[in-house]
Amino acid sequence: MKPGDTWTLKADYNLQSNDLDPGWKQFLQQHAFARFQCSQCWHMWHSAQVNILFHMHLDRKQRRGQVKMKIFRQECKKCLVPKLELPEFSQENVERVLENLMLKIRGKCYREAISPNNLSKIIVEAQIMGPHDSSHCEACQLGICYVKYEAQAPANTFFRAVSLFPRSFPAHEEWSEAEMGSSRNVGSSCDWRRCCCYICCLVIFLAVLIFVLLYLKTK
């Protein structure tokens, strides 16, 4: 649409919502669907409440545009000390997010009349069970994520994981049945070890309690 201008896109995890330098515009893509996998226990989950923050600026004299992007992460709820994990998106949803970004650039930087109805809806590609877990959502912790419940969708939908920004966020192109089975086995093993740890702690607590009671009785 604007062949005379050159635009660049890069990741910037220092971006803050509504904290803009002069001349910069903001676009927050909400309700994006993605898959997460814990790097510690390999637990996997899906979310339809992934947020992506974009800051954009057009230098009209230089005919250059810049877009800075921050993808908000989520934590694994099965780990005792969870880490924030980056999401993986399907190719189709990557394209839809970038289409929405392009429309926002045309509206905010080139002053074109863009209707909200022109924005592409993100496809929910797997079944989401239960409400959105705000306590493990980075965007919720920063007061950016407002939706309380994740959308429902049919299960057994093919999901091909890619990255919105491949050089910064590498993602597996495909997940075979063998890999999925291996992930489930690792997750089961972690659950078994965690259960054993809880039982050992309980036994030690009871042993100390019995010792204290016997000691007081002899007194």
Residue-wise pLDDT for 83-105, tens only, equals 999 999 999 989 999 999 999 99
Q: Is 89 helix (H, G, I), strand (E, B) or coil?
A: strand
Contact 186, 37 (CB under 8 A): no
For the ranges 14-18, 61-65, 178-182, the lowest mean pLDDT is seen at 178-182
- pTM, whole model, 2 decimals? 0.63
Q: Are residues 149 and 169 in the same domain?
A: yes
> Residue range 131-151: average pLDDT?
69
Q: For residues 84 and 13, give the distance between their C-alpha atoms in angstroms, rounded to a whole number.
A: 13
Predicted local confidence at residue 127, as pLDDT: 67
In a domain, 1, yes or no: no
Predicted local confidence at residue 194, as pLDDT: 66
- At residue 138, φ and ψ (nearest 5 deg) are -60, -40
Q: Are residues 145 and 183 in the same domain?
A: no
Higher pLDDT, 58 or 123: 58
Asked if residue 161 has pLDDT above 50, the reply is: no
Contact 29, 101 (CB under 8 A): yes
Bridge partners (DSSP) listed for residue 56 = 25, 67
Bridge partners (DSSP) listed for residue 29 = 52
DSSP 8-state secondary structure symbol assigned to residue 155: S
Q: Are residues 184 and 117 in the same domain?
A: no
The answer to whether the Cα torsion of 102, 107, 113, 119 is positive or negative is positive
Range of the domain at 66: 6-175
For the ranges 136-145, 155-164, 166-175, the lowest mean pLDDT is seen at 166-175
- At residue 210, φ and ψ (nearest 5 deg) are -65, -40
Q: Are residues 181 and 82 in the same domain?
A: no
Predicted local confidence at residue 154, as pLDDT: 35
Asked if residue 178 has pLDDT above 50, the reply is: no
Q: Are residues 136 and 203 in the same domain?
A: no
Predicted local confidence at residue 129, as pLDDT: 61
Q: Are residues 85 and 162 in the same domain?
A: yes
**Binning pLDDT at 50, 70 and 90, where does residue 173 land?**
very low
Tokens of 74: 């989520």
Helices (H) and strands (E) in the chain, counts: 3, 8
Q: Are residues 217 and 119 in the same domain?
A: no
Q: How many Cα atoms within 13 Å fall on the side-chain side of residue 143? A: 3
| Number of structural domains in the chain | 2
Q: Which helix (H) or strand (E) holds 109?
A: none
Q: For residues 19 and 13, give the distance between their C-alpha atoms in angstroms, rounded to a whole number.
A: 13
